[in-house]
Amino acid sequence: MGRLFWKFFLFIWLGQMAAVFGTGALFWVERRNFENRLDNGGRPPAAGEFRVHRPSQARSDGNPHEGPPPPRHEPGGMHLPWLPMVAGCIASIFCTAGLAWYFAAPIRHLRRGFDAVADGGLDVRVAPGMGGRRDELADLGRDFDRMTERLQSLMGAQKRLLHDVSHEMRSPLARLQAAVGLARQQPDKLSGSLQRIERESERMNQLIGELLTLSRLEAGVTGAIEAVDMGELLREIVEDARFEGSARQVGVDFQSGPMAEVQANSELLHRAIENVVRNALRYSPEGGDIRIEAGRRDGGVFHIAVSDCGPGVGADETEIIFRPFFRGATHRAGEGYGLGLAIARQVVAASQGTIRAGNRQNGGLVVAIDIPTRPSPLADQPGKAGFSV
């Protein structure tokens, strides 16, 4: 038995004992008062009066048979109801022990759960051991389970991230080592080896930069929040996308609706939408096109939809494509690190928005972004509307 059990037991038992003895004493006092009323011929005794009757003296005429009747009760010692009080004490012991056990048992169960988590056992769950309880202690057990599930998810994500980072860093490092070795063995090809070293160094620098950005976003560091003109931001992104897509004859169809302003970090939001657009360009075949639809919608949100004509993703991959380093079955070697959509999700979430993905009926992937708007004169500008994804 733990200390909490004995504390519950002691305080509750003492309270019950006080109630038992207080009730017994009250009944004893009432009984004495009732007996005194009977002895006084029905006259209630004065306050604090306990009259004791003694044998009456004979009358002056010498008749010993006349005079007041003998008392009904000869007061003696205190006759407390010991038997009921002892029975109440025994019953209170069992009642108090059960009540203390009822409170202390789930707390001990929770303590064992905390000990298991402290030892690294994040798969422990305490709610099933609470039985059919429907009180605050059962709620605490369910909260504990949610906490361990969240910790287990975060720890698993960190382990996967560490594994993926190690894997991604290994390839450019191996190529760097090979280029250095080749430069030593073949000095006449030093120029080509230096170009390879420079290229691989740039790839590692880009990977580290994206990792740092993702880490800051997951830690809640989003930089300065300001009013962002979505019309101006999208024009820059579309212009860059058309320039990049022209190398592979991939067209960019931009359908603009009513523009608005949103509250976000301008640089990060630009990067997030650009990552989504570049992902669509990457997976669109040569001669294909991508479609960008953007505009303010009812409900105070600014909607952006980027769709391509690529192979799309599996039905079970529409959520996990936003995880760091995820590559679907359609990924082509050498194309990115799988961090672009993960960064986009973090940026949109920091702007109180949502991002989701789905396959188009006629092939390809569509990524939709909704960000809350802020009141702005731009909201009254005319534009095309009515598109949907």
Report which of 326, 327, 323 is spatially closest to residue 342, judged by C-alpha positions.
323
Output DSSP code: residue 370. E
CA dist 322 and 363 (Å) reads: 20
Tokens of 13: 């038992």
Alpha helices in the chain (DSSP H): 3-39, 82-118, 136-185, 190-218, 230-245, 266-283, 340-350
DSSP assignments along 170-226, one per residue = HHHHHHHHHHHHHHHH-GGGHHHHHHHHHHHHHHHHHHHHHHHHHHHHHTT-----E
Q: Which two tokens stand for residue 262?
A: 């949103």
DSSP code for 364: S
Contact of 130 with 294, CB cutoff 8 Å: no
- The answer to whether residues 261 and 228 touch, using CB atoms and an 8 Å cutoff, is yes
Name 130's Cβ contacts closer than 8 Å, sequence gap at least 6.
106, 109, 137, 138, 141
Q: How far apart are CA 129 and CA 106, in angstroms?
A: 8
Residue 303: Cβ within 10 Å count: 21
Which of the following is catalytic: 73, 79, 163, 167?
Answer: 167
What does each C-alpha distance from 105 to 94, 97, 138, 239 come to in angstroms? 16, 12, 11, 66
| Cα atoms in the 13 Å half-sphere on the side-chain side of 108 | 11
Reading the block at residue 266, the tokens are 């301008």
Beta-bridge partner residues of 366: 307, 358
- Contact, 326 vs 343, CB < 8 A? no
Please give the radius of gyration of the chain, using alpha carbons only, rounded to the nearest integer.
42
167 is catalytic: yes
Torsion sign (Cα): 321, 327, 333, 337: positive
**Total Cβ atoms within 10 A of residue 89:** 14
Residues designated catalytic: 167
